[in-house]
Amino acid sequence: MAQVLDGKAIALKVREEVKEGVDVFRAKYGRAPGLHVVLAGEDPASAVYVRNKEKAAAAAGIDGHVHRLLSSVSGEELLALVRKLNADDSVDGILVQLPVPDGVPSAPILEAVDPAKDVDGFHAVNVGGLWSGGSALVPCTPSGCIRLLQEGGVALEGARAVVLGRSNIVGKPMASLLLANNATVTIAHSRTKDLAAVCREADVLVAAVGRAKMVSREYVKPGAAVIDVGMNRDENGKLCGDVDFADVESTVGVITPVPGGVGPMTIAMLLNNTLRAATAREENR
């Protein structure tokens, strides 16, 4: 029988840890960590994510603010807001929710965020820090996946890990974190030859491609740990991951469900990054 990792419960544990850390921070520095989320446009999924981030921040004692902008906002206006937040000393964390509206290039906005406040870990300085083993702010979803694997007792040292997907938000930082944990890492993607055979080599398989139920039994080595980052709708409009859960459940050793797996961890790690950023800023004064 597969061990199904309860992301909701593990995320609550992380959030409790962060809350305790926030209490210590407030006692020491006389203020709460500040998290500012920029939401531009009306993407319905983003609206839900941002509301959840807002609620989770409040529950952890973090001073959360959401800046809601119209989809007609210009790149210059977004840049001006980011610069204002960079200059505001009460702001410890800045997150620009993606996607930004059509016609606004995201790269210059993400690069404008002060790396010390970059709680998404998307700035080149933090990307470089992650790959060179420095103490960077690390993207939330991949660090949540690592925490899930640790909580599930999955050994990473020497393990063969395959990351399916090569995005800057998940695939690439995920590969870097697995490498830092001494796994032997392959990044596989849509152009990989014999994709199922490559995935079948994995002791640890992380699926982050955004294709509903693509990972079927032929992609999975018996006993493998499978982490599903996907958030899709199936043919009936039901929320599902990149993994065909029902098809692989009897084969895998460890698996995360969708919903209730990786999703809740992303928010928990965002709160953790906010506390880390706030603490580092205070210590570097």
Which chain residues interact with ligand GUN by CB under 6 A? 95-98, 120, 140-141, 169
244 is catalytic: no
Of 97, 117, 118, 228, the active-site residue reads: 97
Of 6, 63, 118, 120, the active-site residue reads: 120
238 is catalytic: no
Crossing angle of helices 7-29 and 140-151, in 10° steps, is 110
- Residue least distant from ligand GUN (Cβ): 98
Contact 230, 262 (CB under 8 A): no
CA pair distance 8, 11, nearest whole angstrom: 5
Strands 254-255 and 34-40, bridge-based pairing: unpaired
Residue number, 227 or 252, with CB nearest to ligand GUN:
227
Of 6, 53, 117, 118, the active-site residue reads: 53
Residue number, 96 or 255, with CB nearest to ligand GUN:
96
Residue number, 33 or 121, with CB nearest to ligand GUN:
121
120 is catalytic: yes
CB atoms within 10 A of CB 21: 19
Least separation in angstroms between CB 40 and ligand GUN: 11
Residue 89 tokens read as 């000393």
Least separation in angstroms between CB 101 and ligand GUN: 13
Instruction: Please tell me the chain's helix, strand, coil percentages from 3-state DSSP, rounded to the nearest 5.
Output: 45, 15, 40
Catalytic residue numbers? 53, 97, 120
